[in-house]
Amino acid sequence: MSKDDRSVLSWLAFVAALAALSVAIFGLKDNGSSSGSAAGGGGGAKPTVNVTLKDFAFEPATITIPTGGATLHLMNGGQAPHNFKVAELGITSIDISAGASYDLNIPATPAGTYKVICPQPGHEGAGMVGSLVVSDSASGDGGSAGGTPTTTPPTAGHDASSNSAMDARMLAAAQLFPAKTAGHGGDLAKYTVAADGYKEFVVEAKVVDWEVEPGKIVKAWTYNGVVPAPEIHVTSGDKVRIIFKNSLPQSTSLHFHGIQVPNVMDGVDPYTEAPTTPGGEHIYEFTAKGPAVGIYHSHHNAQEQIPNGMFGALTIDEIPTPQVLIDKGYPEKPTKSVNMVLNDAGVIGLSLNGKSFPATEPYTIRVGQTMLVNYMNEGLLVHPMHMHQPLGWIIAKDGVPLITPMPTDTLLIAPGERYTVLYKGVEPGVWAWHCHILTHAETADGMRYMVTALIVER
């Protein structure tokens, strides 16, 4: 995969535009007027009060400080960036990102109750409203201490506020895409050429920490520490040797799904070989016969080992662009070739290439360029994968080129199936690309799981 897959400037621009739009809609653009924030430098007597910013609330909702001022230690315990604003006092913190904290200085202030909001677009509407009570009488939680204009959460009607809360949650979720997570799977596997001419790949099964989405770290069962495993790509006629090591706490075996190999190399223990026990090794050898769009995965306790992450693409040669599409103006070779491995179970769960939205990877092509996608379903369920645009052409099923390509915008892929689809960029834009079983793509808190985007640039 090329670097520009991950250069997502257009998408970021799109997200920024979306954010700007919502700022315009909500009219919450904050004009600064931030107070001094003597982050901790404030000299003696001022107390420090801890406030946690959540999605979408202040905790506590009523913050009591003395008239002499205080330092508010603001901690963002949510997923979205938050801010702390007291409009009446002209005080605004900086934007505090998820997990970060900030000390906000509140100077000496007349007694009273002041409304606090988060000025991030939509957050006030989502209920992120609190009160700052300035009082010398009550040092406890004196919620009703002041006599001045109390501002409790404004409501524009029950439905309206819960609806705007939902919109705000969805916006916050969308703005996280593409979220950074540790680890990237599916990159090309390295090999060495042995003295006898074999291409040698080392594949080690092991359990590692894997970040499926921001902050969701699971004990994944992997090949070489990534999900999906590195793609093994070879050419017809290549002699292939896989030196397989088992560093799992369980026995396992390695099967080459959709690849023509001798029976004794099929990896089906206990029939074609003995299981490879923890700490053990097994050598697999075959001569590559292509084209093939296959998978290497476990064939031992597979209903658990595979969804937990033990799968990787194994491809031989390339699926050629059909003449009928070349005649329609498709380039002979795709600009980009992508494996899209679907999963829905085990510790990884609903995911595309080992990641769940917003941590899924967006892909970029230009108008006129083509992207070839090998869909591979390693989960336990069927998934109808839907590309909003452009229209795709199915050019191979299970690695066998079709005599006549078939158009698709929604393609049902069953467990174990592989489909090869060619997409040609036509209309510029950021196009949603997701499983169309809607509970695999969305929640009431916004898009999740099996969702990514194809970015078509001019």
Which residues between 360 and 379 bind Cu ion (CB under 5 A)? none
Structure tokens at 183: 């680890």
> Is the CB of 167 or the CB of 442 nearer to Cu ion?
442
Which positions from 102 through 131 interact with Cu ion, judged by CB under 5 A?
none
Q: Which is nearer to Cu ion, 312 or 349 (CB)?
A: 349
- With contacts defined by CB under 5 A, name the span among 59-67, 74-82, 228-236, 429-437 that binds Cu ion: 429-437
Task: Report, in Å, the least distance between residue 242 CB and Cu ion.
Answer: 31
Amino acid at 455: I
Q: Rounded distance, CA 248 to CA 160, Å?
A: 52
Token code pair at residue 10 = 């257009």
Task: CB nearer to Cu ion: give 208 or 412.
Answer: 412
Here the tokens at position 342 are 């679907």
CB of 383 to Cu ion, least distance (A): 3
Bridge partner list, 302 = none
Interface with Cu ion includes 434 (CB under 5 A)? Answer: no
Residue in 115, 98, 105 with CA at minimum distance from that of residue 153: 115
| Assigned token pair, 74 | 């603001």
Binding mask 384-423 for Cu ion (x = CB under 5 A): ----------------------------------------
- What is the Cα–Cα distance from 135 to 170, expressed in whole angstroms? 37
3-state secondary structure of 261: coil
417: Cβ contacts below 8 Å, ≥ 6 apart: 375, 376, 377, 397, 398
Stretch that binds Cu ion, among 209-217, 237-245, 302-310, 438-446 (CB under 5 A): 438-446
**Looking at 437, 447, 451, 453, which residue binds Cu ion (CB under 5 A)?**
437
Are residues 413 and 344 in contact, defined by beta-carbon separation less than 8 angstroms?
no
Among the residue ranges 54-62, 260-268, 425-433, 434-442, the one whose residues contact Cu ion (CB under 5 A)? 434-442
When asked if residue 15 is in the footprint of Cu ion (CB under 5 A), the reply is: no
Of 245 and 386, the one with the shorter C-beta distance to Cu ion is 386
Write down the least CB distance from residue 437 to Cu ion, Å: 4
Question: From the list 309, 440, 442, 448, which residue makes contact with Cu ion (rule: CB under 5 A)?
Answer: 440
Residue 86 or residue 373: which is nearer to Cu ion going by CB? 373
CA-to-CA separations, 159 to 126, 129, 155, 443, 447, in angstroms, rounded? 12, 17, 9, 18, 22
Q: What secondary structure does DSSP assign to 217-234, as a single string?
A: EEEEEEETTBSSEEEEEE
The DSSP bridge pattern shows strands 392-397 and 418-424 to be: antiparallel
Least gap, CB of 331 to Cu ion (angstroms): 31
Number of residues that bind Cu ion (CB under 5 A): 4
Residue 433: CB minimum distance to Cu ion, A: 12
**Rounded least distance, CB 220 to Cu ion, Å:** 20
Q: How far is CA 296 from CA 114, 233, 255, 376, 393, in A?
A: 62, 11, 6, 11, 25
Stretch that binds Cu ion, among 58-66, 81-89, 311-319, 431-439 (CB under 5 A): 431-439
Q: How many other CB atoms are there within 10 angstroms of residue 270's CB atom?
A: 10
Nearer to Cu ion, 116 or 437 (CB): 437
Interhelix angle 9-26/158-175, rounded to 10 degrees, is: 160
Using CA atoms, how far apart are residues 313 and 380, in angstroms rounded to an integer? 17
CB of 452 to Cu ion, least distance (A): 13
Find the Cα–Cα–Cα–Cα dihedral 199, 205, 206, 208, rounded to 10°. Answer: 70
Q: How far is the CB of 406 from Cu ion (least distance, A)?
A: 21
Task: Give yes or no for residue 435 binding Cu ion (CB under 5 A).
Answer: yes
Q: Are 365 and 453 in contact (CB under 8 A)?
A: no
Smallest gap from residue 213 Cβ to Cu ion (A): 16
Q: CB-wise, 372 or 451, nearer to Cu ion?
A: 451
Residue 16 vs 380, nearer CB to Cu ion: 380
Minimum CB–partner distance for residue 440 and Cu ion (Å): 3
274-333 residues near Cu ion, rule: CB under 5 A: none
Written as six digits, the tokens of 419 are: 């489909």
Dist CA 140 CA 63 (whole Å): 10
Per CB under 5 A, does 448 bind Cu ion? no
383 near Cu ion (CB under 5 A): yes
Residue with smaller CB distance to Cu ion, 168 or 435: 435
Which residues contact Cu ion (rule: CB under 5 A)? 383, 435, 437, 440
